[in-house]
Structure 1
Amino acid sequence: MRKKNMRIVLVLTLTALLALMMAGCGKQEVTPRQTADRFLDALQSQDEDVLKKVYAGGSVNLKESLQGQKDDAGADEIEDETIKLLMDKLLDFSYRTSDEKIDGDKATVKVKITTYSFGNAFRDFVTDYMSQGMSLAMSGASEEKLSKLANTLLQKHLKKLTKKDFEKTVTLSLKRKDGQWIVQKLDKDSAFVDAVCGGLITTFTQYANQLGQ
């Protein structure tokens, strides 16, 4: 074969290979499971920009939510310390996604959450506070003193949470919108929120039911 023909064959071969490589580099749709991973990572890092892209509820600013529960009359340094401690613990969960299922423009992804047993810690906190707080209240203690006691006790029980011994598998629902999978909005008392909060929602519900009886 002449050198000229060889060069033509070589050019055509390289062109074909380049075309195949470019086709392989085409943009691929992010899967529901990958979207769930992005959502969970963004939740842990409190990345508002990513959350707005992958979550139908927009942002999930836990710090603002917790600070919104503060009583301005009793808000002080110890309360800020409690919120920071709780935030650090809440966002320290581990997760593993699996079992992706797609049905048209809808999908579900299983998520196994591993975290601290916040429900048990809250139960122990209530027991302590009811005992010590009752004595203080009967002695005429101010709301400021009662608030300080509550924060001190809550911090004590949060610091005892050193082992992630709470596990729960929940389901995230997603929908495809404009060619992109989006995690659907979660109710504040959903199974997912309860899992991330280490059974705290379940404990709250149990106490509410008891008080309602």
Structure 2
Amino acid sequence: MKKAKKILLAGLVFAMVLAMTACGKNSTPSESVESELKAVQNESISDLEKTMPNTMDSSYSDDWKSFLKKIQKFDYKIKDEKIKGNKATVTVTIKTYDFGNAYQETYNQIVQDAQSGTITSSTDVTKYVYDLMFKNLLAVDKKTYSKDVVINCKKNDDGEWETDVQSNEQFLNAIMGGLEDKIAEMSSAQ
């Protein structure tokens, strides 16, 4: 289970790498944020795989690609922009798939199967966990997870707005459908 958690947390790394793409010259903080969000949504899967390679058995390559594509399908709405001199905040509502709940369901099923004897000493646990995890993550078909995120912006020396998207844990958690929050919640309960 720890390996599965590490795989999913690697998803946060991919989001950080994507968010580091330059946003270009934008006249407002909201435009800079929107440019970065679009860059995350439009990154090619082959480029994503370079920054976040599949560390699992190659038999999960297609599942991994499908998961990466699904992460990119988040919706967003810019709600509010507040500028104070060279600093600003932009509030964005992220709506996406509830990957955190799917991860919880995976964990609950593993526990139930272990208690019922479905998982035995002859079970390939790694394969069992990955199969179930991808089945649950990829089965989520409605965007029911929504979260407001505050993105911090500041003007650089060239007068362009830069954002904290690459280090904003709230944003990363939001595009991952609350996955980071769910993993933290489950870890603290153990």
Higher RCO, 1 vs 2 (CA within 8 Å, ≥6 residues apart): 2
- Distance in 1 (CA, whole Å) between partners of 2:139 and 2:112 is 19
Residues 70-129 of structure 1: CA distance to partner in whole angstroms, max 9, x if unpaired?
Answer: 25xxx122x212211211111110001121111111111010001011111000011122
Q: What is the rounded CA distance, in whole Å, between the counterparts of 2:35 and 2:83 in structure 1?
A: 18
Q: Which amino acid aligns with 1:183?
A: T
Structure 1 distance, partners of 2:79, 2:159, is 22
Do residues 40 (structure 1) and 37 (structure 2) align?
Answer: yes
- Cα RMSD of the aligned pairs, angstroms, is 2.4
State the one-letter code of the partner of 1:152: D
Alignment identity in percent?
Answer: 28
Who is 1:195 aligned against? 174
1:148 to 101, 116, 127: 127
Specify every segment of 5 or more residues in structure 1 that has no aligned partner in the other structure, as ranges.
1-27, 48-60
**Runs (4+) of structure 1 moved beyond 6 Å?**
none
**In the alignment, residue 106 of structure 1 is paired with which amino acid?**
K
Letter in 1 for 2:30: R
Question: How many Å apart are 1:163 and its aligned residue?
Answer: 0.7
Distance 1:128 1:62, change over 3 A: farther
1:30 pairs with one of 27, 31, 36: 27
Deviation at 1:45, TM superposition (A): 1.1
One-letter amino acid of the structure 1 residue matched with residue 91 of structure 2:
K
Deviations 1:4-41 (A, max 9, x none): xxxxxxxxxxxxxxxxxxxxxxxx96211011110100
* Aligned partners of 2:26 and 2:32 also within 8 Å: no
1:140 positional shift = 3.5
1:203–1:41 CA distance, 2 compared to 1 (3 A) = same
Match of 1:130 in 2: 111
TM-score, with structure 1 as normaliser = 0.68
Q: Which whole-Å CA distance do the structure 2 matches of 1:114 and 1:170 have between them?
A: 11
Number of residue pairs matched by the alignment: 162
Query: Does 1:116 find its partner at 2:97?
Result: yes
The structure with more radius of gyration: 1
Give unpaired runs (5+ residues) of structure 2: 1-24
In structure 2, the CA distance between the partners of 1:164 and 1:185, relative to structure 1 (3 Å rule), is closer
> SS of 1:113's equivalent?
strand
TM-score of the pair, normalised by structure 2: 0.75
The 1:112/1:81 distance shift into structure 2, 3 A limit, reads: same
